[in-house]
Structure 1
Amino acid sequence: MRAADAGSATRRTVTEVSGGPMVGRLEGAGRGVVAYRGVPYAAPPVGADRFMPPRPHPGWSEPLRADGPVGTVPLQLPSPFAALMGDPVGVAQTEDCLTVNVWAPAEPGDGPHPVLVWLPGGSFLTGGADLPRYDGAELAAQEGLVVVLVNYRLGALGFLAPSWAEPAAVEGAGTELSFRVPPGTTHVTNAGLLDQIAALRWVAREIHAFGGDPERVTVVGQSAGGQSLAALLALPQVRPLFRRAVLHSAPLGMAPQTRQEAARIADDFLAALPTDPARLRTMSGEQMLLAQRYVLGRPRPRGDVRPPFQLVTDHEVVAADLPGALRGAPPPDGLDLLAGVTRHECALWYGNDPGLDGLTREEVAAEFAAVFGPRAEEALRHYTSGTEWRVGFEELKTDAFFTAPTEQFADLADAWGASVRLFRFDWRVPGRAASLRACHCVEIPFLLGRAEARHAPLFADADQEEMAALRVLVRRLWGAFVRTGVPEDGWRPYRRERPAVRVVGGERDGVLLGSLLEPGRPQLWA
């Protein structure tokens, strides 16, 4: 990389990847970070490629302007949590979204920098690399990392799986992997996951142009990105692309859809299209979103927040049992794994949901019976002792979708041969948003993000000095893991016979627990 235009109001920087030259900009405190936004890692998935595996980008001859304040926003419907999180409004969206944002230290330092690649969440429906809470400039500067944020196809564009969709096979391995589909295929399953694989391949090939070390790549997946990463961990073709992995709040208790379930949802989607379904590859993105809105608005059981478009079991890139797929995967070859949850994950969905007002004991008991069978009454008493029914319901959902399966995943990963460490993020939202407690997504602005994200309505009553101190800690811990695989001395590896979970944030910060689950619950989930 080299700096240019030193006298301009926003100093420019130039680098070159195999696709061609690019212009970025210097930003951050003291302009010590270079930023490139909207960098293509694959060709635009439009027209005949709308539902196909990502193809290599043909490149460009003139310098690509990647020096704007915003890169690329994938086509999507509004997030139900956009206002709470302070997401920008009125930002242009596009299907030409197979891009990354890259932040890197402006100075080369003592050698190539470790790399953190973030696969964002959003229920496979919303989100993207340009949200303020994902900005990587501060993390890159504090920890000397190259930070990469990945965009991929969302919603129906990435995960619609009609009956005629075919799985894509991943051939080769590492930087030489490729996708193969049967002749005549026009639509593949899990296109959005294939995008993520293509992005990791691009990082391994090109990150040296940003001062990054392709031998020290850590992939971090949050929420939907975490579930995606769990699928990728079991693919031997993909494993050479990264050395370490971090799962934030992966909903591992939400099994991928079966092909039959996905086909039924696709039928509903196609029936809602305002034009001939035969034009699926050529109709406008707005028409696609209208049909997606219809599917999202269908009646569903109270409290059911599972996305209709998500990973689909195709037995090529997505197994029916994501944690269980590790059992048959090749040895992890020195993989360092960090995984964890927030203490009250499902409070984001249920903490302020008026649809749960008046939830009865009978309704809650039915949920417990579905999970615990003959031990349902014992579990119900444990979860609801001294609290209201809806809180017990919320905590059950947190443990069922996130906490218990993450610990089970750690057991499997330890038996698989990975070096595993677990965390539980306990810092709680104060003030007007206190009912959300340590909810899903609350940890993100302590690792990534800029000041704008830390002043979102979710954090309106938070002590900014307290947040700043915890932010330094979280970045230091995660930075150490990216560099060495060990977040800090005293944070011992998780072993099934000797479990250890580090509390991050909150009154018990630094304490090592014996389980992600609250006392008394591990026996219920055993």
Structure 2
Amino acid sequence: MALTNQSADVHVQVSQGPVRGRREGPDARVAAFRGVPYAAPPTGPLRFAPPAEPPPWHEPLDAAGPRGTVPLQLPSPVGTLMADPQTPQTEACLTVNIWTPGPGGRARPVLVWLPGGSFLTGGADLPRYDGAELAAQENLVVVLVNYRLGALGFLAPHEAEPATIEGTGTQLTFRTASPDGFTTNAGLLDQIAALRWIRAEITAFGGDPERIAVAGQSAGGQALAALLALPQVRPLFRRALLHSAPLGMAPLTRQAAAETADLFRTAAGAAGPQQLRTASAEQIRAAQQHILTRPRPPGDVRPPFQLVADTTVVAADLTRALRHSPPLDGTEILLGTTRHECALWFGRQTEGPDREAVLAQFRAEFGPRADEALARYTAAAPAPSQALTAAFEDLKTDAFFAAPTQDFADTLHTHGARTWLYRFDWQLPGRHQALRACHCLDIPFLLGREEARHAPLFEGTDQNTMTHLRRQMRALWGAFVRTGTPAPHTNWPAHHPDRPAIRTLGATPADTIRPSLLEPGREELWQAHTGTPDAS
């Protein structure tokens, strides 16, 4: 419960000790607590191990300002577009940032955000993830989770062992058989540990532990899809939101992950597990850079460090794992994509692909129907000169995002969840118009401070239009977090495989209901598609 509220300082008590936050946000209506540990710092012998319990403290933990708890990472292209500041990084990153309209009083619904960034970048301290405005507008408690990224979170050498999740809900624990302390999917286990801590402690911040909604964007969305298949984890939240989850990207096989780990270890100059645990941050970053700059096939944007199919925590097929898990009865789920996800990666290229290269990508997906499929995709191009580039981008968007998300929504429905689908259609104008409605574009309409909305990405954007769409999205998402339905008073029916209903946001005409995440003429192609989307 809240202890005191003197001046701008706000004090709460959690199980580990007292915490001091500070009022901020619109009219100082929100109390912010940054860098609150949910697990022990994953350093030394814990560097590649499952997250451990957070140690207690006695003096008030200073969570009143920027804590510098951004996980260790390399620069991000999205960070450049969003003008991310040079925030200090640390391995002691297993922390949460919390924004609440007020500790004490009646309990408020809780939105927990698992950031994306290809499992390589991101962090709760970045301005584009600030939750103060959303918390104030929708009267929610907003929580941003930091977790281990890159090799520190997802390195899986041959000696790594999957963790066993014992118990359930707030009583769950992790156990690993690895004598070297290496576990697969450590970053995913961090997320589970964060949810366990939030469920147990959020009452102190004015949150309702019975009304926790977990949102995952991009990599965070794929991680959330994996968590939905784990019955031990489900009691930690009531609702889920999957933003732009790359569900067409299968988790790495153990063999592929081990091969990458061997290359990483060589680049880091580490002969064995002990050398990896003692390698410096500079060695870790340099080895990651070496891995990231390896040649790869055209169109392959898969991160080298990501979920690993260890058969214990993460399955090889996330949709199939969900189908074989206990029913999702009583769970509400909101999921969707942006209209042109993959324009983020390919929209800024100065040279477009040639027809044979694009056709090769279509053959990999559609075999003998490749020419027909390419014709359907190029017909929807904004201009003839952009036809091949747009077709390539849209193919990748559909393969990694749109088609598998619609399939996942069908599975959620048949598995007992009440499900809503959306597509974010608002497109960038001006200098960055080639990015269209790209991956990550929807985030500033839910989270972020004013400075994030004036980042280079939004140069030339009409701020009034952004303000209107931002208020609309926050209201819809706030309604979902509070009640389990995003729009109780508007025409947005729940999804049914026989009656698909996808709400468009930022579209022209405004707020239409469409039958598919895919553009007209493409649904039949993907319904006949029987393989896993080709990542090359």
TM-score (norm 1): 0.97
Partners in 2 of 1:95 and 1:70 — Cα distance? 13
Question: Are the equivalent residues in 2 in contact too, given 1:166–1:185 (CA < 8 A)?
Answer: no
Aligned partner of residue 318 in structure 2, secondary structure: coil
Instruction: Give the alignment partner of residue 102 of structure 1, picking from 98, 102, 107.
Output: 98
Indicate if the aligned counterparts of 2:71 and 2:147 stay in contact, CA closer than 8 A.
Answer: yes
Q: Which residue of 1 aligns with 2:376?
A: 382
1:254 maps to a residue whose letter is: M
Provide, for residues 65-115 of structure 1, a one-character-per-residue CA deviation record: whole Å limited to 9, x for no partner. 0001345111111112222112112x2110000000000002756x20000
Determine whether 1:519 maps to 2:520.
yes
Code of the residue aligned with 2:437 in structure 1: it is A
Q: What is the CA deviation profile of residues 263-282 of structure 1, one whole-angstrom value per residue up to 9, with x for unaligned ones?
A: 11111111111354441111
Letter of the 2:59 counterpart: E
Root-mean-square deviation (CA, aligned residues, Å) is: 1.2
Deviations 1:149-172 (A, max 9, x none): 000000000001011110001111
Residue 302 of structure 1 and its aligned partner are, at CA, apart by 2.1
What is the aligned-residue identity percentage? 63
What per-residue deviation string (whole Å, max 9, x for no partner) do you get for residues 35-83 of structure 1? 0000000000000000000000111011100001345111111112222
Shift of residue 185 of structure 1?
4.2
> Partner of 2:402 in structure 1?
403
| Structure 1 unmatched runs, 5+ | none
Q: 2:104 touches 2:204 (CA, 8 Å); kept in 1?
A: no
- 1-structure distance, mates of 2:473, 2:79: 24
Q: Does 1:12 align with 2:9?
A: yes
Offset of residue 514 of structure 1: 0.5
> What does residue 254 of structure 2 align with?
259
Where does structure 2 lack aligned partners over 5 or more consecutive residues?
Answer: 528-536
**Aligned twin of 1:366:** 360
- Per the alignment, residue 451 of structure 1 pairs with 450
**Secondary structure in 1 aligned to 2:400?**
helix
- TM-fit CA distance, 1:184: 1.8
1:279-358 correspondence to structure 2 within 5 Å: 279-354=275-350, 357-358=351-352
- The answer for the alignment partner of 1:493 in structure 2 is 494
Say if 2:136 is the partner of 1:141: yes
Match of 2:511 in 1: 510
Deviation at 1:389, TM superposition (A): 1.2
Return the offset for 1:374. 2.0
Tell me by how many angstroms 1:333 deviates.
2.7
Count of residues paired in the alignment: 518
Shift of 1:2: 4.6
Whole-angstrom CA distance in 2 between matches of 1:107 and 1:273: 45
C-alpha separation in 1, matches of 2:453 and 2:245: 23
- CA distance change for structure 1 residues 371 and 224 in 2, over 3 Å: closer, same or farther? same
Contact between 1:340 and 1:423, CA under 8 Å: does it hold in 2?
Answer: yes
| AA partner of residue 167 (structure 1) | P
Report whether the alignment pairs 1:122 with 2:117: yes
Aligned-residue offset at 1:326: 1.2
SS for the counterpart of 1:345 is: coil
Q: Structure 1 CA distance, aligned partners of 2:68 and 2:137?
A: 23
Question: Which stretch of structure 1 is more off in the superposition, 240-249 or 381-390?
Answer: 381-390
- In the alignment, the residues of structure 1 paired with residue 56 and residue 451 of structure 2 have an alpha-carbon distance, to the nearest angstrom, of 34
- 1:36 match: secondary structure: strand
Kindly state the Cα deviation for residue 388 of structure 1 after the two structures are TM-superposed: 2.3
Indicate if the aligned counterparts of 1:32 and 1:107 stay in contact, CA closer than 8 A. no
Instruction: Name the aligned partner's letter for residue 500 of structure 2.
Output: P
Alignment of 1:142-157 (within 5 A): 142-157=137-152
Matches within 5 A, 1:52-131: 52-89=49-86, 91-106=87-102, 108=104, 111-131=106-126
Supply the distance in 2 between the matched residues of 1:430 and 1:3 (Cα, whole angstroms). 47
Q: Aligned-pair distance for 1:4?
A: 3.9
Q: In structure 1, give the amino acid aligned to 2:332.
A: D
> What residue is the counterpart of 2:226 in the other structure?
231
Q: Which amino acid is the alignment partner of residue 515 of structure 2?
A: G
**What CA distance in whole angstroms lies between the structure 2 residues aligned with 1:307 and 1:440?**
15
- CA shift for structure 1 position 182: 1.3
Further displaced range: 18-27 or 380-389: 380-389
Per-residue Cα deviation, 1:481-518 (whole angstroms, up to 9, x for no partner): 00011111321110001110000112133211001110
Instruction: Tell which deviates more after alignment, 184-193 or 276-285.
Output: 276-285
What secondary structure is seen at the aligned counterpart in 2 of 1:35?
Answer: strand
Deviates most, 369-378 or 148-157 = 369-378
Contact 2:74 2:120 in 1 (8 A): yes
